[in-house]
Amino acid sequence: MRKKLLALTLCLAMSATMLAGCGSKNSATEEKATTEPAATTEATAEPAATTEAAVTEGCPGVEGLNIGVCIYKFDDNFMTLYRNELQSYLEAGGATVTVMDGKNDQAEQTNQIQNFITEGVDVLIVNLVQSSAAQQITDQCNTAGIPVVFINREPDDAEKQRWTDNGVKATYVGANAKQSGTFQGEIVLALPDKGDINGDGKVSYVMVVGDPENVDAQYRTEFSIKALTDAGMKVEKLDEQRGDWDQARGQEIVANALTANGDAVEVVFCNNDAMALGAKQAIEAAGRTVGKDIYLLGVDALTDALEGVIAGTITGTVFNDHIGQSHAAAEAAASFAAGETLESLIGVDYIKVTQDNAQEILDLLQ
């Protein structure tokens, strides 16, 4: 089992080197990057299989610790993968772990955090419902002397700087959402026609946004298109709608966009794979063919999306490394509990996924 985890790590590192434009952990940190939004409620994933393959020994330094984990909502596929991996890694190391479902309600999650503080947990790991709640929660934890590791939804730069300035035991562990958007654009640029299927000199696109208030969604939306324009491509936005990371919403938005714009739609960008899977259903229902008369991009590398990339029904996705992120978060918790000082941001890279490497990643995650 340990060999399989090492193989995964080495494979992803090699893929990052071979795929043009891949960043480094240092670059993620320097850009004060963000992470991943949540995934969705609809898409299908296989958290149990992933966790079994990845966790072979426990997190060092957590034995005997009582750790509270707050997840923004349980019925989210990416965060299901993440929390299962996180819990397994911590418990295999000997920690007592309690995981709470915030039910996408910040007031509910804030109450859960207060209960953990009253209980006297050693460390908190928090996937915020709302990134704007970071200051309040950090202050509550700091007053109680409890370190906090934020995951998946990044507090803003001013808040992270406050931790550094005031010596607050808080950090954010996550991937660089700017990088994930850039990678989507670079996948399009690597296509023979660079996304300009009809040859009119511009890329006409539809953007399906996760949550416009989520900084990850903002960066994925912005940087996917910026990658095209930075490369000299002209673009035309035909439609941009909020999909709330949800597969059914992705299907509805893209179905409407295709009805309204017809063959003019050349590329559909989705901020996550769940919405891309919905978009795929809409594209097929409209009689369009991915790779022939339209392109489709997602983020997360969920199982169904990887299978779609392999089959050619999805152009590409970006691997949001829940294994690397969850392990880094657990290890940050251990470091805080040991009295260490951490940087305000611990970055984990994304990986571009196309037909060239989708099967390899799928095999290693199963």
* Lookup result for tokens 């199982």: 303
Tell me the C-alpha distance between 291 and 188, whole Å.
11
Tell me the C-alpha distance between 95 and 72, whole Å.
22
Q: Does residue 273 sit within a domain?
A: no
> pLDDT for 96-137, tens place per residue?
999 999 999 999 999 999 999 999 999 999 999 998 999 999
* Lookup result for tokens 């419902």: 129
Tell me the C-alpha distance between 165 and 161, whole Å.
6
pLDDT at 56 over 70: no
Of the pLDDT bands very low, low, confident and very high (cuts 50, 70, 90), residue 55 is very low
How much of the chain, in percent, has pLDDT values that exceed 90?
77
Token reading at 77: 């596929």
User: What is the DSSP code (8-state) at residue 335?
Assistant: H
> pLDDT for 16-32, tens place per residue?
333 333 333 333 333 33
* Burial degree of 199 (CB within 10 A; 0-12, 13-18, 19+): exposed
Q: Does residue 312 sit within a domain?
A: no
When divided into structural domains, the chain yields a total of 1
Of the pLDDT bands very low, low, confident and very high (cuts 50, 70, 90), residue 92 is very high
Q: Does residue 121 sit within a domain?
A: yes
pLDDT at 35 over 90: no
pTM of the model: 0.75
Of the pLDDT bands very low, low, confident and very high (cuts 50, 70, 90), residue 263 is very high
C-alpha distances out from residue 1 to 82, 300, 329, Å: 19, 24, 21
Which residues have a Cβ under 8 Å from the Cβ of 263 and sit 6 or more positions away?
Answer: 198, 293
- Nearest to 122, CA basis, from 101, 153, 94: 94
Q: Does residue 113 sit within a domain?
A: yes
pLDDT of amino acid 24: 31
Domain that holds residue 42: 37-175+326-348
User: How many CB atoms lie under 10 A from the CB of residue 318?
Assistant: 29
Q: Does residue 123 sit within a domain?
A: yes
CATH classification of the domain holding 163: 3.40.50.2300
User: How many CB atoms lie under 10 A from the CB of residue 252?
Assistant: 18
Q: Does residue 241 sit within a domain?
A: no
Tell me the C-alpha distance between 133 and 232, whole Å.
39
Q: Does residue 149 sit within a domain?
A: yes
Q: Does residue 95 sit within a domain?
A: yes
> pLDDT for 288-313, tens place per residue?
999 999 999 999 999 999 999 999 99
